[in-house]
Amino acid sequence: MMRLSTPDYSTIDQTHSFLANYGGGEANVAVALEHMGHRTFFMSKLPPNQLGDGAITHLHSHNVDTRYVVRGSTTIGIYFLETGFGGRPSKVIYNRKHSAITRINENEFNFEEIFKDATWFHLSGITLALGDRVRKVALRAAKEAHKYGVPVSFDFNYRSKLWTVEEARPVYKEIMKYVDIVFASFYDANTILEIPLDDDFSGTTLAEKRLNVFPKAMKKYNLTYIFGTDRVVYTATDNSLAGYYYTMKNGKLECELTDPIRFNIYDRIGGGDAFASGVIHGLLKDYKNPAYAVRYGLATSVLKHTIYGDASTFSCEDIETFMAANGSAEVVR
């Protein structure tokens, strides 16, 4: 998907040019993981014109393998980003209806070839909102990955601008069958998946509510981990994030909410995808260590906010230096 952002914090009404880059949930995760040293493959459909070529060039420049990107149809998804500043929020205007990916087709992919040697499959909930054909391919891919024993991670990313909860609910419930690791909030589990709070629940914080609901979700859908973040928005350019994970260990809940990190934001888009990337990297290193994974995810996400573009391009060295520095940022010379 092409992103067109206003430069220099200008509004859409003011600007006479747009910065262009390419992104999209799964692509961002792929780019981030390439920079952490993994070999990644991207599945999608792009138009066979220069805008599609631009997206391919973006992926190639980050060394993502595009052999599973089908070329066809005519338009590319575009969204406009009016970059916020201080008390003025960023605004996203979607223009992705009828884009090439909505013309995707199951028989354009050889799932055996794709998954038989794969070590991970990641999917974003935004993709599920892009229409019947995308949905069908996505569910099929998750199912196939699951069949081949590939760990499947799924980021809820529910967007009310794209579909209603009622439309989304059955699809989210369906995808849960094939998923091992989930990036989700209390809202996702409670409202979308309809996992209820206990009748006698009296907690008030999100953390308390997650504690009540997540174990049930994990049991019901046989999930290994739920990851997520708590964000506090001080201003458009000053936020904090804390990461959490939940897992069942020998029938007992194990979970953690990290200390929050407060940070300045250069580009807010892709923070969630960066978190997912860091978590996936952590789990690929040590699948049994969610505490490490959540910290890796959090550091990757915070760092992503300091660069322009939808995806983290940090090396493991960068991320680990940041984790060690406790936020100090003296010039490296």
Considering only residues 223-282, where is the footprint of a copy of itself by CB under 8 A? 231, 233-238, 261, 263-266, 268-269
Whether 161 and 132 have beta carbons less than 8 Å apart is answered as no
Of 32, 46, 76, 129, the one binding a copy of itself (CB under 8 A) is: 76
Asked if 84 touches a copy of itself (CB under 8 A), the answer is yes
For the bound state, the minimum distance from the C-beta of residue 178 to a copy of itself, rounded and expressed in Å, comes to 27
Asked if 110 touches a copy of itself (CB under 8 A), the answer is no
Strands 152-155 and 181-183 turn out to be parallel
Judged by beta carbon, residue 10 or residue 224, the one nearer a copy of itself is 10
For the bound state, the minimum distance from the C-beta of residue 253 to a copy of itself, rounded and expressed in Å, comes to 29
DSSP H or E stretch at residue 233: strand 225-235
Judged by beta carbon, residue 174 or residue 318, the one nearer a copy of itself is 318
25-39 b/e with 16+ CB inside 10 Å = b?
Answer: bbbbbbbbbbbbeee
Asked if 307 touches a copy of itself (CB under 8 A), the answer is yes
> How distant, in Å, are the alpha carbons of 54, 89, 205, 232, 298 from that of 236?
29, 6, 23, 10, 19
Asked if 48 touches a copy of itself (CB under 8 A), the answer is no
Asked if 93 touches a copy of itself (CB under 8 A), the answer is yes
Asked if 288 touches a copy of itself (CB under 8 A), the answer is no
For the bound state, the minimum distance from the C-beta of residue 320 to a copy of itself, rounded and expressed in Å, comes to 13
Of 37, 48, 74, 194, the one binding a copy of itself (CB under 8 A) is: 74
Report the candidate in 139, 153, 137, 120 with the shortest Cα–Cα distance to residue 34: 120
Asked if 219 touches a copy of itself (CB under 8 A), the answer is no
User: How many other CB atoms sit within 10 Å of the CB of residue 95?
Assistant: 15
Q: Which two tokens stand for residue 313?
A: 């391009």
DSSP letter at 309 equals S
Asked if 28 touches a copy of itself (CB under 8 A), the answer is no
